Chain A
Amino acid sequence: MSAMIECEGVTKAFGGIVANNEITLEVPEGRITGLIGPNGSGKTTLFNSIVGYHPVDAGSIKFEGREISDLRVQQIARLGLLRTFQQTRIYSKMNCVDNMLISVPHRTQTYRTMFSKYPPEVTERAEDLLEFVGLYEKRFLISGDLSFGQQKLLEFAMALMNEPRLLLLDEPTAGINPTLINGLIDRLRRATSELGVTLFVIEHNMPVIMGLADNIYCLANGRLLAHGPPEKIQNDQRVINAYLGAHYYLDSD
């Protein structure tokens, strides 16, 4: 099992606040890896660093063995490394099918294909993926008019349309109605098992992430606190303390 993402000593500070402090972690191919930690622990900052949203202060980030910390967002996306946003972001004035169509992989796009139409198999794939997330009937609606949960599903489908090798999901179940969550978890698993997409997931919902991930990393105050399989993380006293805000006592132990 080779590592898809290898972060080594990644550090990122905003002024005096060190959001990521020498984070070293690996995301293995073909698996679902979780990233947890209390609010403000630096999870989203790490995601932003990986996808090239901002330069890192120190450390190296490798994607499939290739250094990507000096590439820009679009270049990284075209390599097949994609992220979804915590505040769902879709093209809100376009309908769902158009949202899907414009999300095709852009690595092979040239000046000539800018003006071309979409072949029928691309439209078919877009509709299949919309059906996969349960939005097929609403495919001609303006995406901004969908409910928040549906927009989240659409964003997930758009990411799959891009045929990524690795997908970073920032709180995929936040704001989704509890009855839909099971369906979503099932889709996430199938994205990995059937479509071959490796997932790296930030999640606050503990039952969800414990059931979903093969391996979990826990951040606290910008540092890597613990990592291991869900059972181990669940019973790790440091993780429990971090979530309950008891880690100051821990330091004095």
Chain B
Amino acid sequence: MNTRLRRTLPYAGLLIAGIAAPFLFPDYTFQFTVLWVMILFALTWDILGGQMGYNSLGNIAFFGVGMYICAVVQIGLYYDVAQYTASYGAVKVEFTAEQYFTGLAVGLIAAGLGAMVFSVILGWVVFGLRGPYFAIGTLGVALSAGELTGAWDYVGGGGGIALPIYPGEPDDRSLFFYALCFVLAMILFFLLRWIYLGRFGLAANAIRDDEEKAEGMGIHTMRYKTVGWAIAAFFLGISGALFGNMIGFIEPLEVAFPTVTFGLFMVVMCLLGGRGTLWGPVIGATLFHTFKEVTWTYLLGWQWVALGALIVVSVVFFQQGIVGWVKEKWPEKFGIAVDDRALAETEPDLDEAPSQRLRRQTEAAQ
């Protein structure tokens, strides 16, 4: 019971902190919302980057795709999108509260599913690439997605789209988006906790350690990679849709496909916290975001230098990340130890018990 309580405690702590934060520090609600988006970034990147060893530099593309799909759905349900974007906000369009929430709900779902479909098609093309080629290939996809969107007049081109305005008080608005981002991050977190403990987690790690061996053992490697990326894309698509609506105005390069900022931050946050672990991305994102906001406030002018220094220090001294370092320092706390109890028993009788059980199992299987 005691160990069980101790194991549940961090999860409960995370939930309580998430619920209490906007009420304890109402001035920082927007910052907390962005933090959950950062955690979503890190957790989704880690599915392939950490657990499977496929370092994608282009996951941000799913974020942008979701953002644009949601915007088009929200507007397209009630107006002509081409006309709306061509006016660059000159024509005032009003959305009623009902229209706003219906549009957002449909848009969020469409964003998730659309990004997912995009990831499956993309995965079919790029999963033939390994190592650095995969990283560069996906980076190219994200960069070109931004440029292509910028040249597409239907969605406003480089000028972007102004999204429908939230029908209510500004305070309610920030709480509303906080709640959505928090819930989304928690759904992903507990979903990942569940699938990492089962077959999916082991297959992902097997692909990371030796993909050729995994193929040789008959594991459906392509299937695991595709599904892993689809999960990442689904949640990133919805995050993008939410983030776009929080900002209120979206454009291709800075908001939807920020490859060199958010696109790289998601990698750095995982490296900092500990890739390939459940808590690493959460811890890394929290530290990274806090560090970034503090330096942006108190070290203005040097903020990018400070951020660069953090990245260098984490890559040079903490290659395993914080959680990985703790795991290496105290492996027995994570159950990595020789089984003393079994060792203390008399030399196991190799000829009797286990082999008989094995034979029985084999006969039953045939």
Chain A residues close to B by CB (< 8 Å): 51, 73-74, 77-78, 82-83, 85, 89-95, 98, 101-103, 105-107, 109, 111, 113-118, 121, 124-125, 128-129, 131-132, 134, 136-142, 158, 162-163, 190, 194-196
Contacts and interface: CB of A to CB of B under 8 A. Distances in A.
Contact of A114 (B197, B203, B365): B203
Interface in B328-356: 331, 335-339, 342-343, 348, 350, 354-355
A194 B218 contact: no
Interface in B210-234: 210, 212-221, 223-224, 227
Interface residues of B, number: 45
Contacts of A136: 339, 342, 348
Contact of A73 (B194, B215, B357, B365): B215
A80 to B, nearest CB: 9
Ranked nearest first, the 6 interchain pairs of A and B with the lowest CB-CB distance are A77-B218, A91-B209, A106-B218, A102-B202, A89-B213, A128-B354
Contacts of B348: 131, 134, 136
B2 interface: no
A103 B210 CA distance: 13
Interface string B171-206: 000000000000000000000001101111011011
Contact of A129 (B342, B343, B358): B358
B359 interface: yes
B230 to A, nearest CB: 11
Given A90-B213, A115-B200, A117-B197, A106 B219 contact: yes
B198 A115 contact: yes
A94 B335 CA distance: 12
A114 B206 CA distance: 14
Contacts of A111: 223, 227
B8 interface: no
Contacts of A128: 354, 357-358, 361
B336 A95 contact: yes
Given A114-B227, A141-B336, A78 B200 contact: no
A225 B293 CA distance: 73
Given A89-B212, A136-B342, A190-B355, 12 more contacts: A90-B213, A102-B205, A103-B217, A115-B199, A117-B198, A117-B199, A121-B361, A132-B358, A136-B339, A142-B336, A194-B359, A195-B362
B292 interface: no
A92 B208 CA distance: 10
B218 A91 contact: no
Contacts of B336: 95, 140-142
A94 B354 contact: no
A107 B217 CA distance: 10
Contact of A195 (B197, B219, B359): B359
Contact of B199 (A51, A93, A116): A116
Contact of B220 (A74, A131, A142): A74
A141 B210 CA distance: 18
B3 interface: no
Given A128-B357, A195-B362, A140 B197 contact: no
A114 B219 contact: no
A162 B206 CA distance: 15
A134 B343 CA distance: 11
Contacts of B342: 136-137
Contact of B209 (A93, A125, A162): A93
18 contacts: A74-B221, A82-B216, A93-B209, A94-B209, A102-B203, A103-B217, A115-B195, A116-B199, A121-B361, A124-B357, A129-B354, A136-B348, A137-B342, A140-B337, A141-B337, A194-B359, A195-B358, A195-B362
